[in-house]
Chain A
Amino acid sequence: MNTVWVLLIVSSVILSILNGRVGEFTKAIFEGAKSAVEVSLFLLGIVALWLGITKIIEESGLIHRLSRGFRIFVSRLFPHVPRDHPALTSITLNLLANLFGLGNAATPLGIKAMQDLQSFNPDKDTITFEMMLFIVINTASIQLIPFTVIGILADFGAKNPAVVVLPTLLATVLSAAFAVGTLFVFRKVFK
């Protein structure tokens, strides 16, 4: 992330000077700060809400029942996560929320999953392979029905907005498979 950030900042400053957009640059960094606050406030609400709900799931013991149902599938993806660990449940819930396009629930549950995965990480500074796999699956964002996109197409009077469902699903499944494959290739190379 360090490299990405340096690249973005340095190229932005140089390009904005070359393009004569220095004024826009300065305005943009303050806008960026403002949207960070807005997004954080939004996150504060939904993260607190979903961590409240997941706390009930943990305390009532429901977590063991939920993880039992999906354990076969998720523990095949994450073989190094202990079988009774809460991480399996939070990963499952996050993946289900993504699948149904529930972005507002997916992010908080994903944060919970990252915390659960971090709990058995021997080196708290360094990412584990399980965390990388989890993030890569998340950024591939497999979604059954892209509701927002269909909504916009319908608003502008598309003849059949649902025509995008099949190509989107195909593209997202293929790119998820490619992303996971790339991760495994990198693991082989950087072992």
Chain B
Amino acid sequence: MNAVNLISQLIIPVFILFVVLYGVGKKVRVYDCFVAGAKDGIAVVIKIFPYLLAIFVAVKAFQASGAMDLAKGLFQGLLASLNIPLEVIPIALVKPLSGSASIGVFSDIVKTTGPDSPASLISAVIMGSAETTFYVLAVYLGAVGIRKTRYLVPVCVISDLAGIILAMAVVKILF
């Protein structure tokens, strides 16, 4: 565990050192190059901002509207019959929408049900295996200004759903 942790901490520093030294070796003006690249970064973020704004406003509004309680009611019976703790419903609903909110919800589940409870375990796996899909879509599509996304969004939504079901199934089978 510690070795893996150490390696993942070392990756970025070693990578940056290697890139800079390689550049110097190839007689590249490293500093000017870095600044030029960073300047491109500003343009990219300005391009992404309106997409981020649109998605963040919609997601926050959706959370505030009480839609989560409605969905909770819908899934309650189903999960109870599968013997899955109901505490995992909020994390399954929040994780695809918001990264920072899901960390808060996850901490809350661990606090109220205990760190070794089945609910905590299932939530942990959902946290690690699902992604904040709409944020990723807004950033990546916004960065290149794609408007026609063909069948990408339905594929992502179906996969999100499958990911959460798989997370529950894996924990149920392994433990």
Q: List the interface of chain A (C-beta within 8 A of B).
A: 1, 3-5, 8-9, 11-13, 15-16, 18-19, 21, 24-25, 27-29, 31-33, 35-36, 39-40, 43-44, 47-57, 59-62, 100-102, 105, 107-108, 110-111, 114-115, 117-118, 124-127, 131-132, 134-136, 138-141, 143-149, 152-153, 156-159, 161-164, 166-168, 170-172, 174-175, 178-179, 182-183, 186-187, 190
Chain B residues, Cβ within 8 Å of A131: 140, 144, 146
A138 touches B38 (CB 8 A): no
B34 touches A125 (CB 8 A): no
Selected from B39, B62, B129, the residue in CB contact (under 8 A) with A11 is B62
Known contacts A11-B65, A19-B66, A156-B110: A164-B38 contact under CB 8 Å = no
List, sorted by A's number, 20 A–B pairs whose CB atoms are closer than 8 Å. Answer: A1-B153, A8-B62, A12-B64, A16-B61, A16-B65, A33-B57, A40-B45, A48-B41, A51-B37, A53-B37, A55-B37, A56-B23, A111-B140, A118-B144, A125-B145, A126-B150, A139-B131, A153-B110, A164-B128, A178-B162
Q: What's the Cα separation between A139 and B159 when bound, in Å?
A: 9
Q: What's the Cα separation between A33 and B50 when bound, in Å?
A: 10
Known contacts A51-B40, A171-B167: A15-B144 contact under CB 8 Å = no
Q: What's the Cα separation between A184 and B27 when bound, in Å?
A: 45
A105 touches B63 (CB 8 A): no
Q: What's the Cα separation between A149 and B151 when bound, in Å?
A: 32
B36 touches A55 (CB 8 A): yes
Q: In the complex, what's the smallest C-beta–C-beta distance from A41 to chain B, in angstroms?
A: 9
Given pairs A4-B134, A52-B35, 20 additional interface contacts (CB within 8 A) = A1-B138, A3-B153, A5-B55, A11-B65, A29-B61, A31-B60, A48-B37, A48-B39, A54-B37, A56-B20, A60-B22, A100-B8, A139-B133, A139-B136, A144-B4, A145-B8, A159-B115, A170-B170, A179-B163, A183-B155
**Considering only CB atoms and an 8 Å cut-off, how many residues of chain B contact the other chain?**
98
Selected from B49, B149, B158, the residue in CB contact (under 8 A) with A1 is B149
Interface on chain A toward B: helix, strand, loop, or mixed SS? helix
Q: What's the Cα separation between A157 and B19 when bound, in Å?
A: 40
Q: In the complex, what's the smallest C-beta–C-beta distance from A17 to chain B, in angstroms?
A: 9
A36 touches B56 (CB 8 A): yes
Chain B residues, Cβ within 8 Å of A55: 33-34, 36-38, 40
B26 touches A171 (CB 8 A): no
Q: What's the Cα separation between A175 and B48 when bound, in Å?
A: 28
Known contacts A138-B136, A178-B162: A32-B19 contact under CB 8 Å = no
Q: What's the Cα separation between A57 and B64 when bound, in Å?
A: 44
Q: What's the Cα separation between A54 and B116 when bound, in Å?
A: 42
B70 adjacent to chain A (CB < 8 Å): yes
